[in-house]
């Protein structure tokens, strides 16, 4: 079920744009009608593109969710972050009842070069829910906190030192499989985007434009090259 409206997104995208400097005309008025019209047209196009992608990808993701899972709620809520200063990003979360929410920032919507990129990102984020990654990460954090807490307590640590050990354990536990989860979501997200009629290989090209996290120990994301390879391998299975 969509909880998504076109006009707020149009306004947010327009607000996110940076207008060109204005110059006074012969009568002393200021304004840049051509530039303003151009910004508005770009915002309209970006928002409409996002709406089209959501209308095609969301039903596919929900259908796969209902076919392949029995323990998850499958009605996706797609939302747009209203902060015009938020960097390009998308992420999956859930409400207090466990219902899935996918949030896009207006900067990501504006930055996407084509519908394939938006479709791949939406498929990727939906896949985190289908694969139960939030629950798995939470369980990992709890397990890590318990393990590190027990070790610290057995070593005689107390108070702040014990609390720090528990917090560190939670971080390690949540991050231990983080890169694996991202690759799993890339793989399933590729199939979702393809099923919706988009080219996931073209969509994953945005990896070439974002900073490469490298292969850091307990990093939250794998190297971009590895993610692209996973996408190509999954896409080849469905004819891309």
7-65, pLDDT tens digit by residue? 344 444 544 444 334 444 444 444 555 555 556 778 778 889 999 999 999 999 999 99
Locate all alpha helices (DSSP H) within 17-158, ordered by sequence.
Answer: 33-68, 106-111, 115-130, 133-154
Burial class (CB in 10 A: 0-12, 13-18, 19+), 211: exposed
Q: Cα(5)–Cα(171) distance, rounded to whole angstroms? A: 36
Asked if the model's pLDDT at residue 111 lies above 80, the reply is yes
pTM above 0.75, yes or no: yes
Burial class (CB in 10 A: 0-12, 13-18, 19+), 29: exposed
SS3 label, residue 152:
helix
Which residues fall within 8 angstroms of residue 199, CB to CB, at 6 or more apart? 116, 193, 235, 240
Per residue in 115-141, pLDDT tens?
999 999 999 999 999 998 888 877 766
Question: What is the residue extent of each domain of the chain?
Answer: 6-19+33-136+176-236
Judge whether 116 and 200 are in contact, CB under 8 Å: yes
Q: Cα(106)–Cα(164) distance, rounded to whole angstroms? A: 36
Average pLDDT over residues 142-149: 70
Closest CA to 9 of 66, 53, 50: 50
């Amino acid at each position: 079920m969509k909880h998504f409206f076109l006009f707020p997104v149009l306004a947010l995208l327009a607000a996110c744009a940076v207008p060109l400097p204005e110059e006074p005309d012969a009568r002393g008025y200021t304004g840049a009608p051509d530039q303003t019209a151009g910004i508005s047209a770009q915002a309209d196009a970006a928002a409409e593109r996002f709406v089209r992608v959501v209308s095609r990808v969301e039903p596919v993701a929900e259908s796969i969710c209902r076919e392949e899972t029995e323990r998850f709620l499958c009605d996706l809520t797609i939302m747009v972050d209203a902060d015009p200063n938020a960097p390009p990003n998308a992420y999956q979360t859930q409400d207090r009842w466990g219902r899935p929410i996918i949030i896009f920032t207006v900067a990501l919507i504006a930055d996407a070069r084509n519908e394939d990129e938006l479709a791949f990102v939406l498929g990727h984020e939906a896949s985190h829910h289908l694969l139960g990654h939030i629950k798995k990460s939470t369980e990992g954090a709890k397990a890590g906190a318990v393990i590190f807490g027990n070790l610290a307590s057995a070593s005689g640590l107390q108070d702040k030192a014990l609390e720090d050990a528990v917090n560190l354990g939670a971080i390690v536990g949540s991050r231990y499989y983080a890169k694996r989860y991202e690759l799993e979501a890339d793989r399933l997200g590729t199939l979702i985007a393809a099923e919706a009629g988009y080219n996931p290989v073209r969509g994953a090209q945005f990896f070439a434009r974002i900073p490469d996290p490298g292969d850091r120990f307990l990093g939250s994301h794998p190297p971009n090259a590895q993610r692209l390879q996973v996408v190509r391998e999954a896409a080849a299975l469905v004819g891309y």
